[in-house]
Structure 1
């Protein structure tokens, strides 16, 4: 547990407020221990080592003029044997004298490296990442259970009441474009962004639940979606921080399962509350869930960004040694970025990648369509199970269990496929061609239209209610397969731009998901359940060839791209 506490927000707060050495890092407990713990991984040229020694003899410290060393760490620097050790091992010198000392991992087994964490710690962090993702996604659909009550209380149409759903989804689509890139800065990291946004998200649920006019409720729905959004775009990056590509795909699959299960669970959880207490209790339920998530994140969620961990290690060594030349590679890179480059990375790159890279554009449009179909199709459930099968209002949410079953049931065979078929295809560097990810997407692409046609034409009084529920399970299975295949493909094909690509994907799919529910109810009532579902089914069929074409010709397209990876 102490290992988990080390880099949590709670530990940061405790050390800052109490100024205690509780949960101290190894170099703080024993200032010279870092020299003894490193492993010879990054040897420097002999002349660099010699220059470093000359610099120490001339100035009393490495790379900077100043007084003779007077701390244990500085004394260690004054020893030529330690200088040779440091130059040959976990701290490497720049190519020029009097420049910087670059702090790196102590060695391949450095326990601070998230890739070296124990399986239990990784699974715990994965669970908390999924829990916060689940909380954000359920925040959209849990509101739908109270839409009719919102319309009644605020004297607006049902379409106007549905805007509360669309604004929340639109908010968490736009938010990552501005907030997620902050987690890439070494001075910030991922964990503070998650906890601060979760805290604000939780706090804002109180005025949302107490809103006394329609405008205030709509504004708060958008703001809460915007504030809590970073986890939806960078959760995959957090998983990649801990797992190598061969194992990352399993973590992404679990994350994707939670992402798809949340919108399905929302109407089920909110239905009973809205029926008994009104729409406000759907927001109170969201407050309870997000508050519980915030507590767990505050006390038990460690930092996973290697650039931030090394940045803070360098900061501790600077404080101990009083040597300002000690820096992490990530902060050196960040210091050389101009304001224009920062703006480009945060605001321009996600858009340019989306519209200039054919692969990114096609896959983002496809996932956006599936996401839109999901929210649009959900609007038919009250019509099918309330109007056709005459279920009580509070029980309609139970119909979504078929989709949830599909999400869960597809995971075991998918994991078996990954373990027995895909893992042997990785090369010696643990890498796989991105196009190999499309196999799951091809299967999932066929599941979506199967679901929509089955659901639409089996939903009638002459056929048991179980049949449309069985058909709905195919959407859950297909969605999980598509979501995981596409996210892994984009991450593998654009590793240098993964954050921007995933943020753009979140924006496009959220924009589609926000728009479709506005006309879904009218479409199902005017066309009927069968033909309305068929329209969605035919639309999903149009995109079925995309994963097939990428599986066959994707490598050729990727090699022609300026930004995609070419070395695999």
Structure 2
């Protein structure tokens, strides 16, 4: 009941029925709240507005306890923020440390379920990039365009979901909007865009639609990690981020598999129809199953209900107070300018973004390399070529298993008691391993890509990419979130833009590079070149491990 009430559909039902259906505590008879809250109204309505009785230490309004003892009890049941504000009676916050509406207090089962819904959302969007590549050959023949021109449908989609978070992701940080509204509305637009895309009869129509689809599908790709941070304490967050990372890998990796069989049997349009069914099905499920996780937005809705209940228009949350004090210029800075500023002016952000962008570019580069290696050299059809990508998926799964062991036996022990703080640099060791796995993959794959070597050998080599990419993503994204907690949405949006920029550009020159660099052995030499770039990047996490704390002290944005 509580989970459905916080979903998009549940919110509508509650609003339409004026709280009669799926009521919140404030809309229910016998509602109870902390005694320090709105004392003037409580004095006038002693029977309608009571303190929670969820703890033996809590008492209802009207109990005749000594003043000092009551004061002591109030102090035990307030958050640190409330203590700093001197128990402001107009401040709407949690009703205590165990408030069930606080996402951090949800049960493990509920958190796991919501995590699975975020993974579904991410997968249904991410697959939209690579599923298109399976129909490139058919599209070039039907539209009479070059392969590079047809590839623009991939690059513009990727560019769209790189640019989108710079504008859409910060909106989820606005308390009045929250995350769920942004997720559902943009997913709805994404689904609708697939219909004209599948029906497009020329490249001039197709390309803008692909960009818009990437743009409106982007919020979950940059904000999904923030949603997980809403629920999990830092000590446990890495496990959830890891699962979410697997879902993100599954999209691009399984896209050629699903799209390959569809394009081979029908046409390129069927790759888009499959995307429509997947994303439309996800939308139908998530409207009823994905609850709001933003604590700021949950409290804003609570404040609205309390203002209606009490008639006290002074009741505000911290988020509302901060938002009210922000000028139009400050809002524009937060939503439009800050992600760019952090990406360019912060050396930590810039170099880690560059590293992750290289990894992302390599993944999309392979959408052009795999047809050469497995279709031209080994005679695979489009569906079988898609199966070749499973090596990356297997590598990711294996690395997640090892990552969980590392988190359990080492990372969790680095947190202070309570699991709330850790030095950000403690997040970086997985990147040491991931940085080494990446060039191993490129050298292995490149020099085993010829037709004379069994096809399974380069697939095994590609598994090292799954290992390297997964570990680098986990280390970097968790590190950036810990180092810039106040600006996490903006920092991750900038990271997404860097990734998308490389992912959009690399496929445009990939075919020519793999075929022409070094003559017949182009795949080997092109992979060697990329592997050497990956080697150059290896020192970045090591440098931050040693000097990151000093660099952060010089920043006005980092903690």
TM-score (norm 2): 0.92
Shift of 1:81: 6.7
Aligned equivalent of 1:532, options 520, 526, 533: 526
Shift of 1:355: 1.2
Secondary structure of the residue aligned to 1:323 is: coil
Shift of 1:326: 1.5
Alignment of 1:266-277 (within 5 A): 266-277=255-266
Secondary structure of the residue aligned to 1:105 is: coil
Partner of 2:452 in structure 1? 462
Distance 1:502 1:94, change over 3 A: closer
| Distance (whole Å) between structure 2 residues aligned to residue 359 and residue 195 of structure 1 | 33
Map Cα deviations across residues 185-238 of structure 1 (whole Å, 9 max, x no partner).
111100111011111111111111111221111111000100111111110000
Verify: 1:522 aligned to 2:512, yes or no.
yes
Shift of 1:390: 1.2
| Distance (whole Å) between structure 2 residues aligned to residue 310 and residue 90 of structure 1 | 15
Contact (CA 8 Å) 1:93, 1:101: kept in 2 or not? no
Map Cα deviations across residues 296-315 of structure 1 (whole Å, 9 max, x no partner).
11001111000111111111
Partner of 1:557 in structure 2? 551
Map Cα deviations across residues 363-409 of structure 1 (whole Å, 9 max, x no partner).
00110111111111231100001111111233111111111111111
| Distance (whole Å) between structure 2 residues aligned to residue 74 and residue 308 of structure 1 | 23
Partner of 2:55 in structure 1? none
Contact (CA 8 Å) 1:454, 1:468: kept in 2 or not? yes
Secondary structure of the residue aligned to 2:316 is: strand
Alignment of 1:331-370 (within 5 A): 331-370=320-359
| Distance (whole Å) between structure 2 residues aligned to residue 273 and residue 236 of structure 1 | 32
Secondary structure of the residue aligned to 2:389 is: helix
Partner of 1:149 in structure 2? 138
Map Cα deviations across residues 231-251 of structure 1 (whole Å, 9 max, x no partner).
111100000000000001111
Partner of 1:116 in structure 2? 105
Shift of 1:354: 1.0
Contact (CA 8 Å) 1:177, 1:347: kept in 2 or not? yes
Contact (CA 8 Å) 1:233, 1:502: kept in 2 or not? yes
Contact (CA 8 Å) 2:46, 2:62: kept in 1 or not? no
Alignment of 1:145-544 (within 5 A): 145-430=134-419, 431-527=421-517, 528-544=522-538
| Distance (whole Å) between structure 1 residues aligned to residue 49 and residue 18 of structure 2 | 23
Shift of 1:437: 1.2
Secondary structure of the residue aligned to 2:453 is: coil
Alpha-carbon RMSD across the aligned residues, in angstroms, is 2.4
Aligned equivalent of 1:126, options 111, 115, 121: 115
Map Cα deviations across residues 394-452 of structure 1 (whole Å, 9 max, x no partner).
31111111111111111111100110112112122522111111110010011111011
Distance 1:72 1:217, change over 3 A: farther
Contact (CA 8 Å) 1:102, 1:329: kept in 2 or not? yes
Contact (CA 8 Å) 2:25, 2:31: kept in 1 or not? no
Alignment of 1:52-131 (within 5 A): 56=40, 61=41, 69=44, 73=48, 101-131=90-120
Secondary structure of the residue aligned to 1:104 is: coil
Distance 1:522 1:314, change over 3 A: same
Partner of 1:22 in structure 2? 21
| Distance (whole Å) between structure 2 residues aligned to residue 407 and residue 75 of structure 1 | 51
Shift of 1:30: 2.4
| Distance (whole Å) between structure 2 residues aligned to residue 246 and residue 27 of structure 1 | 33
| Distance (whole Å) between structure 2 residues aligned to residue 394 and residue 419 of structure 1 | 39
Verify: 1:137 aligned to 2:126, yes or no.
yes
